[in-house]
Amino acid sequence: MAALLQLALFTAGLAVLYVGAEMLVKGAVRLATSFGVSRLIVGLSLVAFGTSAPELALDVTAAFRGAVDLAFGDLVGSNIANVGLVVGVAALVRPMRVQMRMLRSEIPIVIAISLGLWVLSADGNIGRGDAILMLGGFAAFVAYLYRTARRERAGVRDALEHLAENKNGRLRSGLLAIGGLATLVVGAQLMVIAAVAIARDFGVSELVIGLTIVAIGTSLPELATAVVAAYRGDADLVVGNVLGSNVFNILMVMALVALIHPLPVQHASFCFDIPVMAAFAVGLGVIMFRGLVISRWEGGLLLVCYAAFIVWQAL
């Protein structure tokens, strides 16, 4: 009975988390565009990273509660799920043609960040000094996005800015964003409490719970976005959202968590989980390089590899 109650609490927290994430993103986007911020800039930052809002709320909450293994597992596990589960399912829905630009810039950035995390964790700890370095990397990534946005064609900017004309006013947008943030905090509290209790009841480590159940749960916004985008033939949105989310998870969310509470890195994570995360990023790059198309069989291969990772954690 206790296990069912904790599962219900976890599910309720997950639902609240998603509602809060949607409110926060919508409110923030409308507020930013009402102040004349380019719609493209908003799309490349808030919208691309918006699906990572559950990770941000949950893992910062976990850090304050001292559940650092849960937070670390969720962030590494979410990055693995974004490639193996999200891109895999999206490619099964519809094969996706990707731009060469992603191979030249975004994919190398994600691979470099994954390998960088591996180097930083070699001493068995992600400390506050590491966190400051990661935040500096995040600032550089945002600057890169800004420069990229400014190089976009004026016609693209105009089309995106046109979409922002229907806004409900700054006050309403601000209240929506604040309400979303508060809802995220509530949902995160529920999920962390339930996840820790489930781990203890079943004798499973918080790290494994974070790498599997929590990681899949917080990756569902990316999955939902990817399925819809793939069905509509928008491969750029699918892959861009995944890559942007992975950058945000490591350089921003993990850095904030480490500032609150330094993250111990278990030997198993250093030897297996982080290398697997980097391998999925490299694998996605190799798949994209083969004709700039992610086919259905390649999507299936990603899913099989992700399923193998989950089975390994379960065993």
Average pLDDT in the chain: 81
Checking if the pLDDT of 208 tops 80, the result is yes
For the stretch 212-258, pLDDT in tens is 888 887 777 777 767 777 877 777 777 887 888 899 999 999 999 99
Q: Out of 61-75, 102-116, 185-199, 270-284, pick the least confident.
A: 185-199
* pTM for this model (two decimals): 0.80
**Long-range contacts made by residues 154-159, C-beta under 8 angstroms, separation at least 24?**
156/40, 157/38, 157/39, 157/40
Ranked by mean pLDDT, which of 55-64, 141-150, 242-251 comes out on top?
242-251
How remote is the C-alpha of 254 from its chain's centroid? 11
In angstroms, how far apart are the furthest CA atoms of the chain?
59
Is 90 exceeded by the pLDDT of residue 181? no
The pLDDT confidence band at residue 155, using thresholds 50, 70 and 90, is very low
Question: Please, are residues 113 and 137 in contact by the beta-carbon 8 Å criterion?
Answer: yes
Q: Are 84 and 302 in contact (CB under 8 A)?
A: yes
Tell whether the model's pLDDT for residue 262 goes beyond 70.
yes
Q: Residue 288's pLDDT band (boundaries 50, 70, 90)? A: confident
Residue 70 has pLDDT above 90, yes or no: no
Position of tokens 């489930």? 198
For residue 163, pLDDT over 50 is answered with no
Q: Is the pLDDT of residue 39 over 60?
A: no
Task: Select the highest-mean-pLDDT range: 1-5, 162-166, 308-312.
Answer: 308-312
Higher pLDDT, 84 or 227: 84
State the pLDDT at residue 205.
81
* Structural tokens at position 27: 């409110």
- Between helix 235-248 and helix 106-120 the angle, nearest 10°, is 20
The CATH class of the 2-314 domain is mainly alpha
129-145: per-residue pLDDT in tens? 999 999 999 999 988 87
CA distance 278 to 294: 19
Higher pLDDT: 17 or 210? It is 210
Q: What are 273's two structure tokens? A: 């989980």
Check whether 43 has a pLDDT greater than 50.
no
Above pLDDT 90, what percent of the chain? Answer: 33
- pLDDT tops 60 at residue 160: no
Which residue in 61, 85, 30, 27 sits closest to 305, CA to CA?
85
Contacts of 105 (CB under 8 A, 6+ apart): 144
Confidence of residue 119 (pLDDT cuts 50, 70, 90): very high
**Average pLDDT, integer, range 180-185:** 76
First to last CA, the chain: 25
**How much is the pLDDT for 298?**
92
Residue-level pLDDT at 159? 47
Identify the residue with better confidence: 274 or 53: 274
Buried b (16+ CB within 10 A) or exposed e, 29-68: bbbbbbeebbbbbbbbbbbbbbbbbbbbbbbbbbbebebb
Lowest-pLDDT range of 102-106, 107-111, 160-164 = 160-164
